[in-house]
Amino acid sequence: MQVNLEKRVTKIEANPLLIKNNSAATKLRVAAYCRVSTDEEEQLNSYESQIAYYTEAIAKNPSWTFAGVYADEGITGTVTSKRKDFLRLMRDCEKGKIDMILTKSISRFARNTVDSLSWVRKLRAMNIGVYFEEQAIDSLKAENEMLIGLFSVIAQAESENISANVKWGIHQSMKNGKFCSNFSCFGYMRGANGVPEIIPEQAEVVRIIFDRFLDGNSLEQIQRYLQDNGFVTYKGGKAWNKKVIDTILKNEKYAGDLLLQKTYCSDPISKKTKVNRGELPKYLVSNNHPAIIDRDKFNRVQMEIARRGSKHKKSSLAKTEQGKYSGKFALSELLVCGECGSNYKRNGKTKKNGEHQYYWRCINRSENGSKSCSSIGIEETKLHSAICRALNKMFENKEETVNLLRSNLKYAITGSDDSCDAYSLENQILKLEEESEHLMELMGSTSGDTDRFLNEIKNNFEQVKILREKLQVAKISAESNETNDSEFERLEKMFTNTDVSFNEYDDVIVRRLIECIRVLKENKIIVVLKGGFQAEENII
């Protein structure tokens, strides 16, 4: 039996504590947000005025209760992550501490269209409105979203226009060499008139870094030397970073020059900084400020960096074609097999009495056996003795040797014979490009495996890239009117010193003097000085 029940409706009253209205009993918690985009005095006055204005305006309204003023000083409006007080305001909104936000205009709230609409929608979802006084817009009203979007686009376009004007002004300053660069780098400080001044203690460390690099030290060895001898970093720490040392070696400021626009801002909205790899012009201001390192030494360091970076692999077991510079032993770079042309490598063994004994062996023979190379291995102490005897033999007539160095070392050591250097590099580039074209023709005419051709073309491309960098350094050096003789002068002083002898092996002297050492299977070595002078010596 079905019973008909009477339908009833019961009203459940709303929680009065959650109702937002303009009654005196429930006041709106109102916060204000203001922002200025520069640190100029006029803007900062406006900043202070905005804070005072909103504090007073909220206090005067009987329906509002003061929830605070949030303000960002000298901050861009296009990147939200840089506006700390804006983010604090949003966090307080999420915590339910604020019912409404007052701000002067949409451009003060955000100059990024996406950010502006995104934050307005997030606040609306929390039933929090933003009132833009200049446009008289309440974000809680859905019909106002289109207006907010329109004014946000206008604000963003205005920001982009300002950015373009500022960039133009900066570029004009760069062209005229009047752009004020930030000189917060190791060794310098900004002087009273904005002119960079040298910090003597730090400048000495810079000179040590450059000298030790030219003496053959690797970045790791320089790092260890600085730390072991208690030299402090830019921030006063004792732990040096290899990347910092590398940056110092490549920084043109130490030669008294200033290269402008090494980096650039990709766009005014994201403000992401990118390295300028040719997308925009660069401006080199020569003799801009006092130099710590003379220019010819700086250029030699750049050439040495390029030389070390262009090294090919020594071992056939290496996974990549790129070789690695060894700063530990000078002979790793200089000792060459006279039979197959491979480099020699240092190997060690421990005798029964615990004594360590070291040998130098051809890498090709060590890895591939005597069928690949019939070279000999050399005990290290005998090799060092033979090198010292060869050097003493060559410097028996110091005057003749010094004259030879004077005529040849300009190109061989300092690279000051830049026309020859540039000509040689251009020829190498031309040959590699011709070889690549030939490989491309062969690859197009075969239906077989093309990977081998592609790998060779890729290797040629990498070599050309490195050679072009070295060519640029040579051309810049060639354009200079200064003679690059300081390295020769340093060596000449060492040679003409009557106390100089080669009774003990020294890695630094070997690196400075010797171009290469060829090992012959007849138990002989040929020591070739930089400049071409050579001597043959028996290994005994």
Concatenated DSSP letters for 435-471?
Answer: HHHHHHHHHHH-SS--HHHHHHHHHHHHHHHHHHHHH
Q: What is the pLDDT of residue 300?
A: 83
**CA–CA gap between residue 293 and residue 314 (Å, rounded):** 33
Delimit the domains of the chain by residue range: 20-163, 188-293, 331-538
132, with CB counted inside 10 A (0-12, 13-18, 19+), is buried
Q: Tell me, yes or no, if the two domains 20-163 and 188-293 fold the same way.
A: no
Half-sphere exposure of 237 (CA within 13 A, CB side): 6
Name the CATH superfamily housing domain 20-163: Resolvase, N-terminal catalytic domain (3.40.50.1390)
**CA–CA gap between residue 64 and residue 30 (Å, rounded):** 6
Q: What does the buried/exposed string (b/e) look like for 441-465 if buried means 16 or more CB atoms within 10 Å of the residue's CB?
A: eebeeeeeeeeebeeebeebeebbe
Q: What is the pLDDT of residue 43?
A: 47
Q: Which residues of the chain have pLDDT under 70?
A: 1-3, 14-25, 37-47, 74-81, 111-114, 142-143, 151-152, 155-183, 264, 266-271, 310-327, 397-424, 427, 445-449, 474-501, 531
Domain 188-293: CATH architecture, name and number where available: Alpha-Beta Complex (3.90)
Q: What is the pLDDT of residue 84?
A: 85
Q: Amino acid identity of 158?
A: E
Please say whether the beta carbons of 305 and 245 come within 8 A: no
What φ, ψ does residue 29 adopt, rounded to 5°?
Answer: -85, 110
Q: What is the pLDDT of residue 419?
A: 44
Residue among 361, 329, 336 nearest 526 (CA): 336
**CA–CA gap between residue 255 and residue 296 (Å, rounded):** 9
Q: What is the pLDDT of residue 414?
A: 44
Q: What is the pLDDT of residue 184?
A: 73
Q: What is the pLDDT of residue 225?
A: 92
What φ, ψ does residue 33 adopt, rounded to 5°?
Answer: -125, 130
